[in-house]
Amino acid sequence: MTDLILGIDLGTTNSLVGIVDSGFPILLAGANGSRMTPSAVYFPDGEGEPLVGAEALRLRMAKGERVVTSVKRLMGTRETVMEWGGRKWGAEDVSALILGKLKQIAEAAMVEETAGKPITRAVITVPAYFNDGQRNATKRAGERAGLIVERIVNEPTAAALAYGLDKLNESSKVAVYDFGGGTFDISILELNEGVFQVLSTNGDTRLGGDDIDGEIARALWRLAGGDGDRVPDSFGEAARQAKCALSAAETFPVRLPFYDGEKSFEREITREWFEKVARKVIERTRGHCLRALSDAGLEARALDAVVLVGGSTRIPLVRALVREVFGREPDVSQNPDEAVALGAVIQAGILSGAMRNMVLLDVTPLSLGIETFGGLMNVIIPRNTTIPVKRGELFTNAVADQSSMRIRALQGERELARDNWELGAFEIPFEGGPRGSARVGVQFAIDANGILQVLARDTATGRDEVLEIQSAAVDVGDEKVEAMINESVEHAFEDMNARRWTEGKMKSDELLPAVDQALAMLGDSLDAEEKARVEAAAAEVRMALESGSVSRLKAANQSLDEATETMAAMLVERAMSGI
Ligand code: ADP
Ligand code: MG
């Protein structure tokens, strides 16, 4: 199964890999059960191969000088980060090892699906600000790991895909606030024809959760009575633990027994204390956000969405700052440390075709139809129909000698055409003739991209008229859909009444002239009592039409139908005997 394509988030702190499996994007866990692989590599002193991930990170305390982390910051440079095996290792070489590990994780997790064959294709994400050199270095790292890099995708774009922002309206603008372990990125994107364009990007490649850990570690160290900048590693680890815990809890007990072999430190710290210490670091993201907005020429309120990405956005104070800067509640519906990877997987799935199912599952948010005689909505494709879809119906002329029909494409849930939205309209000409003689087929087709095509055909001549409506069929804002549905529920009773009235009136309009014509034709051959009964029933229909009462009209139509039974039979008999 070489058509599988991996989606990879090659992060500064953590990396993730995933794939589309049976139409679903999934992230894959390594042998230790974690979907996150620390972007760390340990190079052994003597024998053995480099270790990647959690195992490497674990050796940092004992053999810190042999462990490399955060090489992404050096991507595209010639800087040596390690000398090992008789040669110099740079960021690209180390990244190749990390990518190789991710490839292995994926192959192990997918072994049943692939029957053990290698997976060789991948999509890899990079920060939006990466230049060509850095992008090419990332690509080469992938190739060195045995991967064909099908595409390099911007991290904010991937995150926006994971958040489903590609379903927003055309020209929507979104901000992606990505606060990771060692870097901060803010990007403003605009959605154009289903593709995100980067309007502006800003940030700091040396600002992240690690800096918060550092501040907290130093503060704890001072509380323990320590001085100078040489903070023991154990304080750094305790700081990171406390930080993560305080994203959910209000207090956290820091315990460092015998941290220097003799002294111990123990202190219950509160979120309030944490925020006081961490505020300075978190505040540094504010200016970057404001600059990104101003570079994009936008005010915060012009944005349609703000999404949070990166592990550090779990911190409540970070969320509060985002809320304040952008004046709105950020979208946190996705797992912040997995959003970029998930987006990479979705992009990979779209490229390989494995994700086609997801596109197919798009549905029409509102019903589509045309206006029919009497101003009623005639639904052709009901709401919540899966696209692509093609459906049609045959219509006829309601009036004799009509020579064209106006097709109004409508969207909405209301019974009366005028309460729904008009998407477009056109005329279809046909041969004039008696009422009900024309045959006009109307077909609605929505393709996988949500483009609606309305086709009308005069079946007598085979002549077609076609109207194309871009994306409006599927692309309606959630709020508008909700408002339309609420309205249809609110007006359900009166709408139904209006429909029944129009239908009743159409029936009366058909019956009354026919009855008048029959009475004239039959003349005296109808006995007086019978004739009086028919006339009375017809008069009641006319009065019911005046009254405006739906139920009265319905009953009157029915009585007239019944009263004319004998008369109708006589007419048939006459026709048969050729008189
Ligand atoms: P990167 O994109 O730089 O690889 P991530 O998005 O994985 O990084 O973020 C890693 C950072 O998120 C680390 O600094 C980590 O301590 C921090 N982090 C993870 N979980 C939490 C949490 N619950 N609260 C606060 N910070 C967290
Ligand atoms: Mg990241």
Sign of CA dihedral 293, 297, 298, 304: negative
Does residue 363 lie within any of the structural domains?
Answer: no
The backbone torsions φ and ψ at residue 34, rounded to the nearest 5 degrees and listed phi first, read -100, 140
Could you give the angle at which helices 339-352 and 155-162 cross, rounded to 10 degrees? Answer: 80
Task: Note the Cα 14 to chain centre separation in Å.
Answer: 25
Parallel/antiparallel/unpaired status of strands 404-411 and 421-429:
antiparallel
Residues 6+ apart with CB under 8 A from 170: 191, 192, 193, 471, 475
Does residue 375 lie within any of the structural domains?
Answer: yes
**Under 8 Å between Cβ of 274 and 312:** no
Question: What integer pLDDT is reported at residue 196 of this predicted model?
Answer: 87
**Under 8 Å between Cβ of 216 and 239:** yes
In this prediction, residue 525 has a pLDDT band, given cuts at 50, 70 and 90, of confident
DSSP helix/strand/coil, 316: helix
Q: Are residues 202 and 154 in the same domain?
A: no
- The token pair at 251 is 């207090």
Q: Give CA–CA dist 198/306, Å, rounded.
A: 14
Res. 471: pLDDT tops 80: no
How far, in Å, is the centroid of ligand 1 from the Cα of 117?
34
Cβ of 236 closer than 6 Å to ligand 1, yes or no, is no
Backbone region of residue 456 per phi and psi (left: phi > 0; alpha: psi in -120 to 50; beta: other values): beta
CATH code, domain carrying 526: 1.20.1270.10
Q: Are residues 62 and 203 in the same domain?
A: no
Does residue 347 lie within any of the structural domains?
Answer: yes
Q: Are residues 456 and 510 in the same domain?
A: no
Residues 6+ apart with CB under 8 A from 114: 1, 4, 107
Q: Are residues 70 and 216 in the same domain?
A: no
Active site residues: 9, 72, 155, 178
Task: Output DSSP code: residue 208.
Answer: S
How far, in Å, is the centroid of ligand 1 from the Cα of 336?
9
Does residue 362 lie within any of the structural domains?
Answer: no
Q: Are residues 5 and 143 in the same domain?
A: yes
Cβ of 12 closer than 6 Å to ligand 1, yes or no, is yes
Sign of CA dihedral 121, 123, 124, 128: positive
Q: Give CA–CA dist 51/469, Å, rounded.
A: 56
Look at the block and give the residue holding tokens 């359900």.
492
Q: Are residues 319 and 180 in the same domain?
A: yes
Distances (CA, A) of 508 to 119, 318, 320: 71, 68, 65
Q: Are residues 243 and 265 in the same domain?
A: yes
Q: Are residues 220 and 313 in the same domain?
A: yes
Closest CA to 424 of 400, 448, 404, 444: 444
Closest ligand, as measured to the CA of 128: 2
Does residue 197 lie within any of the structural domains?
Answer: yes
CB half-sphere exposure, 365, CA atoms < 13 A: 17
**Under 8 Å between Cβ of 89 and 82:** yes
Q: How many domains, in total, are found in the chain?
A: 4
How far, in Å, is the centroid of ligand 1 from the Cα of 185?
14
Q: In what order do the strands lie in the sheet with 389-395?
A: 389-395, 440-446, 452-458, 463-469
Distances (CA, A) of 61 to 11, 57, 67, 113: 22, 8, 9, 39
Does residue 181 lie within any of the structural domains?
Answer: yes
Q: Give CA–CA dist 331/133, Å, rounded.
A: 33
549 vs 244: which has the higher pLDDT: 244
Q: Are residues 151 and 7 in the same domain?
A: yes
Across 367-374, average pLDDT: 87
In terms of Cβ atoms closer than 10 Å to its own Cβ (0-12, 13-18, 19+), residue 434 is: exposed
Cβ of 180 closer than 6 Å to ligand 1, yes or no, is yes
Domain boundary among 322, 353, 384: 353
Q: Count of CB atoms within 10 A of residue 105's CB?
A: 24
The residue whose CB lies within 8 Å of the most ligand 1 atoms, and thus the one to mutate among 312, 332, 338, is 312
Amino acid at 107: E
Domain that holds residue 431: 368-476
Mean pLDDT: which of 34-38, 46-50, 294-298, 517-521 is highest? 34-38
Cβ of 244 closer than 6 Å to ligand 1, yes or no, is yes
The C-alpha angle with vertex 125 and arms to 341 and 185, in degrees rounded to 5, equals 90
Cβ of 155 closer than 6 Å to ligand 1, yes or no, is no
Q: Count of CB atoms within 10 A of residue 363's CB?
A: 12
Cβ of 243 closer than 6 Å to ligand 1, yes or no, is yes
Q: Give CA–CA dist 466/455, Å, rounded.
A: 4
Q: Are residues 108 and 185 in the same domain?
A: no
CATH code, domain carrying 452: 2.60.34.10
Question: What integer pLDDT is reported at residue 473 of this predicted model?
Answer: 62
**Tens digit of pLDDT for each residue in 52-104?**
999 999 998 889 899 999 999 999 999 999 999 999 999 999 999 999 999 99
Res. 156: pLDDT tops 60: yes
Does residue 506 lie within any of the structural domains?
Answer: yes
Q: Give CA–CA dist 68/206, Å, rounded.
A: 16
Q: Are residues 186 and 210 in the same domain?
A: yes
480 vs 351: which has the higher pLDDT: 351
**Tens digit of pLDDT for each residue in 499-519?**
888 888 888 888 888 888 888
- The token pair at 489 is 């529920």
Q: Are residues 313 and 374 in the same domain?
A: no
99 vs 530: which has the higher pLDDT: 99
Closest CA to 41 of 91, 77, 7: 91
Q: Give CA–CA dist 513/517, Å, rounded.
A: 6
Q: Where are the beta strands (DSSP E) in 277-413?
A: 305-309, 368-372, 376-381, 389-395, 404-411
Cβ of 34 closer than 6 Å to ligand 1, yes or no, is no
In this prediction, residue 369 has a pLDDT band, given cuts at 50, 70 and 90, of very high
The residue whose CB lies within 8 Å of the most ligand 1 atoms, and thus the one to mutate among 69, 243, 246, 277, is 243
How far, in Å, is the centroid of ligand 1 from the Cα of 180?
5
Domain boundary among 429, 446, 476: 476
Task: Output DSSP code: residue 386.
Answer: B
The closest residue, in CA terms, to atom 18 on ligand 1 is 311
Percent of the chain clearing pLDDT 70 (strictly above): 97
- The token pair at 66 is 């042999």
Res. 25: pLDDT tops 60: yes
Res. 359: pLDDT tops 50: no
Q: Give CA–CA dist 119/29, Å, rounded.
A: 16
Does residue 481 lie within any of the structural domains?
Answer: no
CATH code, domain carrying 232: 3.30.420.40
**Tens digit of pLDDT for each residue in 231-246?**
998 999 999 999 999 9
Cβ of 247 closer than 6 Å to ligand 1, yes or no, is yes
The closest residue, in CA terms, to atom 20 on ligand 1 is 311
How far, in Å, is the centroid of ligand 1 from the Cα of 12?
10
**Tens digit of pLDDT for each residue in 399-454?**
778 888 888 999 888 888 988 988 888 888 888 788 878 888 899 998 766 778 89
Domain boundary among 450, 476, 502: 476
How far, in Å, is the centroid of ligand 2 from the Cα of 310?
5
The residue whose CB lies within 8 Å of the most ligand 1 atoms, and thus the one to mutate among 27, 34, 102, 244, is 244
